Amino acid sequence: MSKASFIHSLYLDQLEALSFLYGQRIALFSNPEVSWKTIHKFEERLEANLDALVSGGEPALEVCLQQAKDGDPGDLYAALRVFCRLERKDLFIELLEGIDSEDKEKHLAFIDALKHGLPEAWQDDFLEQLDSTDPQLCDMVASLVAYRRLSAGKLLVQTLKRYSSSQVILALGRLRERSAASLFLANLRHDNEAVCSAAALALLRIGDMTVVPHCLRIAGESSWSHIPLALGGDRSAVSALAKVAGSDNATADTVLALGMLGDITVIDLLLEKLNGDLAESAAQALEIITGAGLSERVFVPDEVEEDDLLDDEKEAFRQGKLPCKPDGSLYGTYVNRLSQKRTEWSAWWGENKAMFDQQIRYRLGRAYSPLTILETLRSEKSPFRVRQLAYEELVIRYDVDFPFEADQFVSEQMRVLDSMAQWIAANSGRFQDGAWYFAGRIVS
């Protein structure tokens, strides 16, 4: 092997490693057995491979450019991170112009690379793209604005006036752009539920409570309204969502929302839900309220695709029989998860309910407060989505906003959480534990 071939293979290996770590990092966010803090180890390895490629000069750039065009989404992410670190705008533009608008995974990889590595010197030029007539490009810029909290409120408002976009609305909500309130209100009745949901969240984040009665009115037929009610509603939201949860219209979000509201009057209803299709959400809701920590170890069979089976296995599969190992056991793994056993939860509740007061809200077994929200964010047992929603609660309930995303690099998250802890300690006397708040003010 020549020296040039060796160097090429070396940089190719580093890029493939970076690509793998990017994909693994994304997958770990949805793995209930992996603590969000554990992801830090993968991020450190990702950055080490990035440093090696950045120092590789033109040979490394050639490998990155070729793989970005021909490889998978992780290769595109890796190459873009290198180009951003070296401020090679020419190579960045070359990839931007060639991206397939129909390839959603590569599109997301492109956005992630910008979130994690866009040079500050490029920001103004990038924000100018909000004037584009290309909605996909505008959404890409909006995603970056939301993640980085870039000062682009006025530009985003003009973009939203041209077309309704959940990404643009989410970005304006992240910036808490109050001048966009009328546009948010108009989009509450959009045909696209993602747009409605984004508008509701944006209104809650700017302290506009008019969205709550709107969501209450439509809770029975529009499930997208349930999470906004969890984030900004009061006791009336508990009764409205409990009614939906007891009907055929109940969804996983309905049950999760009841858990986030923290009212123990719904505990019996959540116990009932442990027997059905919503058992996983019911267990999560019970844990959010009580912090009981009940767990179980269960066997999860591997997912099977008929096309992957041998001919003699396909007929059995069509009859509902999964392929087995030579010893007769199923393919799969054992995992630890929150207990979904109604008997265990009922027993725990029977032993502990005397410690709870129906007059106040709860989170993780303690009176709801900024501190218990912080504990939700810090907990290694909190799933990704619960952590993200807990951040929204801190903004909406207590009117304090530290730029945070549950998919930030762990080192960044830890810094933000430390800042939150300092603020909470300094403002501990301002709020009544267990009470209902909205925009920093107590509500009935």
Q: Per residue of the chain (444 residues), what is the pLDDT tens digit? A: 577 777 788 889 999 999 999 999 999 998 888 899 999 999 999 999 999 999 988 999 999 999 999 899 999 999 999 999 999 999 999 988 888 778 889 999 999 999 999 999 999 998 999 999 999 999 999 999 999 999 999 999 999 999 999 999 999 999 999 999 999 999 999 999 999 999 999 999 999 999 999 999 999 999 999 999 999 999 999 999 999 999 999 999 999 999 999 999 999 999 999 999 999 999 999 999 999 999 988 777 767 666 666 666 666 666 667 777 777 666 667 778 899 999 999 999 999 999 999 999 999 999 999 999 999 999 999 999 999 999 999 999 999 999 999 999 999 999 999 999 999 999 989 999 999 999 999 996
pTM above 0.85, yes or no: yes
Q: What is the 3-state secondary structure (H, E, C) of 310-340?
A: CHHHHHHHHCCCCCECCCCCECEEEEEEECC
Q: Report the distance separating Cα 297 and Cα 212, nearest Å.
A: 39
Q: How far is CA 365 from the centre of its chain?
A: 24
Q: What is residue 3's predicted lDDT score, i.e. its pLDDT? A: 72
Q: Report the distance separating Cα 405 and Cα 416, nearest Å.
A: 10
Q: What is residue 100's predicted lDDT score, i.e. its pLDDT? A: 79
Q: How many CB atoms lie within 10 A of CB 37?
A: 12
Tokens 């001048």 belong to which residue?
179
Find, among 229, 295, 217, the residue nearest to 256 by Cα: 229
Q: What is residue 188's predicted lDDT score, i.e. its pLDDT? A: 96
Q: What is residue 407's predicted lDDT score, i.e. its pLDDT? A: 96
